[in-house]
Amino acid sequence: MNDIIIKTQEQIDGIRKSGHLAAQALDYAEQFVEAGVSTGFIDDKIEEFILKNNAIPATKGYNGYPKSSCISINEVVCHGIPSQETVLKEGDILNIDVTTILNGFYGDTSRMFTVGEISPTAEKLINVTKHCLDLGIKQVVPGNHFGNIGFAIHRFAKANGFSVVYEFCGHGVGIDFHEEPQVDHAARKNSGPKMKPGMIFTIEPMINQGRPGTRIDKKDGWTARSVDNKLSAQFEHTILVTETGSEVLTDIHDDYSIT
Ligand code: MF3
Ligand code: CO
Ligand code: CO
């Protein structure tokens, strides 16, 4: 494929700044995550933070999406719409997904949060999902096939008794919200295009406790839930292919080394 954008150094620097801001918005949101708080309130705080930092929440108005983040609780796989009526309770697990536009550049990241004591299964699902993302990131090297990201993720999720959501994917990102290529989280070994230095894309595996299928809420047209209403978890980073490996552009904690 030749329609995957190779970013210039200036674009890379802009996308890194935006990515760092999106990650900071998640850290800022953490203090508000507790039982009794609505996801609408958390979204308001995230929006305030993004605007105060001279950026725009990319989701607001995107294909009619109404809010500044996606907050997906328990069986919600992705695209949960924050609302004053959705109140967090003890034992909940939730993903908060933030995409910022800073000086025209997009940064996209999400991670899991927990409310009080969670079940051992929920904890295992979260840990396995984070490890799936990390295994995907390890596959980011020039010359490697995009399919090997999904191959590594699927193998590990399956070995742990979980399933990989195949109806939502990672994506090229940076100049636009969703660019080529589509980054599958379950794929055949050595399938798909090859990675080249300067490509930037997300890896954002959604891992289900039960069956892999999802259903979109008929009323709001966005909220995707697992078909069996079992738990789902997700982590997302924006990643640059370097000359020799990768840089995680949404890593503000030095969780990953630049390779
Ligand atoms: N941030 C999500 C992603 O990782 C996209 C959300 S689109 C929305 O691709 F419209 F649902 F907000
Ligand atoms: Co994304
Ligand atoms: Co996202």
User: How many structural domains is the chain composed of?
Assistant: 1
> Where residue 211 sits, what CATH number does that domain have?
3.90.230.10
- Asked whether residue 255 is domain-assigned, the answer is no
Angle at 172 between CA 161 and CA 202, to 5 degrees: 40
Per the structure, the complete domain to which residue 196 belongs is given by 9-248
Percentage of residues in the chain with pLDDT exceeding 90? 99
- Asked whether residue 256 is domain-assigned, the answer is no
The stretches of the chain forming alpha helices (DSSP H) are 9-30, 39-52, 120-138, 147-159
- Asked whether residue 23 is domain-assigned, the answer is yes
Q: How far apart are CA 47 and CA 74, in angstroms?
A: 23
- Asked whether residue 28 is domain-assigned, the answer is yes
pLDDT of residue 209: 98
Protein residues within 5 Å, CB atom, of ion ligand 2: 108, 202
The stretches of 35-87 forming alpha helices (DSSP H) are 39-52
pLDDT of residue 219: 98
Nearest CA owner, ligand 1 atom 2 = 97
If you average pLDDT over every residue of the chain, what do you get? 98
What are the pocket residues of ligand 1 if the criterion is a CB atom closer than 6 Å to any ligand atom?
59, 62-63, 65, 70, 79, 97, 99, 108, 202, 204, 222, 236
- Compute, in angstroms, the gap from residue 97 CA to the centroid of ligand 3: 5
Nearest CA owner, ligand 1 atom 12 = 59
pTM value is 0.98
- Asked whether residue 259 is domain-assigned, the answer is no
Asked if 205 contacts 136 with a C-beta cutoff of 8 angstroms, the reply is yes
Structure tokens at 118: 């969670």
- Compute, in angstroms, the gap from residue 54 CA to the centroid of ligand 2: 21
Angle at 53 between CA 34 and CA 238, to 5 degrees: 75
> How far are the Cα atoms of 4, 13, 250 from residue 197, in angstroms, in the given order?
11, 14, 17
- Compute, in angstroms, the gap from residue 70 CA to the centroid of ligand 3: 8
pLDDT of residue 2: 53
- Percent of residues in the chain assigned helix, strand, coil, to nearest 5: 25, 25, 45
Instruction: Pick the atom of ligand 1 nearest to 58's CA.
Output: 12
| Amino acid identity for residue 132 in this structure | C
Pocket test for ligand 1, best of 39, 62, 81, 169 (most atoms within 8 A of CB): 62
- Asked whether residue 27 is domain-assigned, the answer is yes
pLDDT of residue 145: 98
- Asked whether residue 110 is domain-assigned, the answer is yes
pLDDT of residue 106: 99
Pocket test for ligand 1, best of 69, 70, 112, 168 (most atoms within 8 A of CB): 70
pLDDT of residue 123: 98
- Asked whether residue 21 is domain-assigned, the answer is yes
Pocket test for ligand 1, best of 39, 67, 83, 99 (most atoms within 8 A of CB): 99
Which residues of the chain fall short of a pLDDT of 50?
A: none
- Compute, in angstroms, the gap from residue 56 CA to the centroid of ligand 1: 14
